[in-house]
Amino acid sequence: MKTTVAYLFGLVGFLLQGGAVIGLPVYILFFGGSAWWMLAFFPLGFVGMIPLSIMTSMLDSAKKG
């Protein structure tokens, strides 16, 4: 159960980073979005690291015990 929750955290982090790093620039370049959205949502890539680090620590603790 703990590994399932850990992978869910990882999925959330992956989606946040993917939206900020890939999805938002594609929206701006191909669908005519404003470049100001890039400045507003670019920090999501860094916020996405938080659930990924939680996932890593949960998986490490699940392996140990």
* 13 burial level (CB within 10 Å; 0-12, 13-18, 19+): buried
The tens digit of pLDDT for each residue in 24-48 reads 777 777 877 777 777 777 787 788 8
d(CA 20, CA 65): 35
Average pLDDT along the chain: 83
* DSSP-derived secondary structure for the chain: -HHHHHHHHHHHHHHHHHIIIIIHHHHHHHH---THHHHHHTTHHHHTHHHHHHHHHHHHHHHH-
Confidence check: pLDDT of 8 > 90: yes
pLDDT at 65: 65
Please check whether residue 63 is in contact with residue 32, taking contact to mean a CB–CB distance below 8 angstroms.
no
